[in-house]
Amino acid sequence: MIDSCAFSHRISQASRIKRSRIILALDLANGSDLNQLALSTISLLEKYICAIKLNFHLILPLSSSELSKLNRHVHSYGLQSVADIKLNDVPSTNKIAISYLSSMGFDAITVNPFIGTAGLRAAIEQAHELKFGVLVLVYMSHIGAHLGYGINLLGSNSQVTQLYQKFFQDAIACRADGVIVGANRLEILREISCKKDHIPIYSPGVGVQGGNMKQAANNGTDYFIIGRSIIGSKDPLKTAKALRQQFLHLSVDS
């Protein structure tokens, strides 16, 4: 059951209590029992994170009852749970997806704004009625992201803007709970953070994809989505603790 307050408040509260702005990308690809591995990983690392992000690595193989149990486990530690499915379909389909994910105990969803302004607004309005959060992709961290998010748009006034700028404007106008920009996209982070109108920035791409936590934080990142650097390390607990400590140092320095 999702708490009555908004997602943005819940994750901020979790961050304060845990003294962490790390969202663990629980992208588990190996193991004979993914469900049990996910549960044990959350128990191992919960002190050093504020939320869990589940991608198709777990959303596809686990049943709805297993996902519901996993989300109850997440909530038992005071954490939040984000379904990272990059929703991008017609409004009627988006509505069904949001309803199912909310009923399984997820707290928020990632949405790809290629659905258009009207589709994005409809998804966010429905989500907010359920006290469910929406994080909007503005510029992803992977190689080749510029081929989509970085393309130029020619406006009616002959002004040229880039697609990520339009996506950011739509996220603000539609009252999204946050925007996603890669930690390895420092120039874009810097640009957006100067005019983000208090919308939090969530950044994947730390570590494996070349992003640096300190540099990203200095350029506007509020929350860090970290997966392989923790999950794939020889000692995930030690790594998560060190990354949380790095965040605390950043907070003191700022």
- 181-202 pLDDT, tens per residue? 988 888 889 988 887 667 999 9
Q: Nearest Cα to 83, choosing from 62, 240, 211?
A: 62
Question: Is 164 domain-assigned?
Answer: yes
129: tokens are: 């009625």
pLDDT classification of 142: cutoffs 50, 70, 90: confident
Question: Is 2 domain-assigned?
Answer: no
Tell me the average pLDDT of the chain.
89
Question: Is 1 domain-assigned?
Answer: no
Number of domains in the chain: 1
What's the CA gap between 120 and 125, in Å, rounded?
Answer: 9
What's the CA gap between 51 and 28, in Å, rounded?
Answer: 16
What's the CA gap between 100 and 102, in Å, rounded?
Answer: 5
pTM summary value: 0.91
CATH no. for residue 216? 3.20.20.70
Question: Is 200 domain-assigned?
Answer: yes
Residue 22, pLDDT score: 96
Please write the tens of the pLDDT for every residue from 94-124.
999 999 999 999 999 999 999 999 999 999 9
- CB-based contact 52:74 (threshold 8 Å): yes
Residue 14's domain comprises: 7-253
What's the CA gap between 185 and 170, in Å, rounded?
Answer: 20
Question: Is 196 domain-assigned?
Answer: yes
H runs (alpha helix) in 19-63: 34-45, 56-59
